[in-house]
Amino acid sequence: MSERFDNEAFYAALNAVRLSRQLTWKEVASEAGVNASTLSRMSQGSKPDVDGLAALLSWSHLKAEMFIPGSRKNEAEPIAKITALLRADPKLSKENAKLIESIVIDTYKKLRSD
């Protein structure tokens, strides 16, 4: 079976970037250079076209392989990456990064399926 692009995860990640930058979806479309209808269709499960995907990846600084299951084998655990990213975020104080980290780790432990 061929690997498939996880559009739902990509849209969720875009939303996280949008929220961290305190933008509306209309502003995202404008800054990324895509039609607002592209984002609207994505919210309903449609995949963006190649040019739209490239523009949104560039705007968000996300990498396409993050959304292709199986393409990132032999990498650090996702929770470890999240922890490292939180602690590296210059917008968070050390204490706030640790607080968010503890919330994420506790939630992850409760929800993960082994």
| Residue 39: per-residue pLDDT | 96
CATH architecture of 7-67: Orthogonal Bundle (1.10)
- Per domain, the residue ranges of the chain are 7-67, 78-111
| Residue 54: per-residue pLDDT | 96
pTM of the model: 0.69
Average pLDDT (97-111) is: 92
43-98 residue pLDDT tens: 999 999 999 999 999 999 999 988 988 776 667 788 888 998 998 999 999 999 99
- Is the pLDDT confidence value at 1 over 50? no
For CA atoms 39, 33, 78, 92, the dihedral sign is negative
| Residue 112: per-residue pLDDT | 84
Q: Burial code of 50-65, b = ≥16 C-beta within 10 A, e = fewer?
A: eebbebbbebbebeee
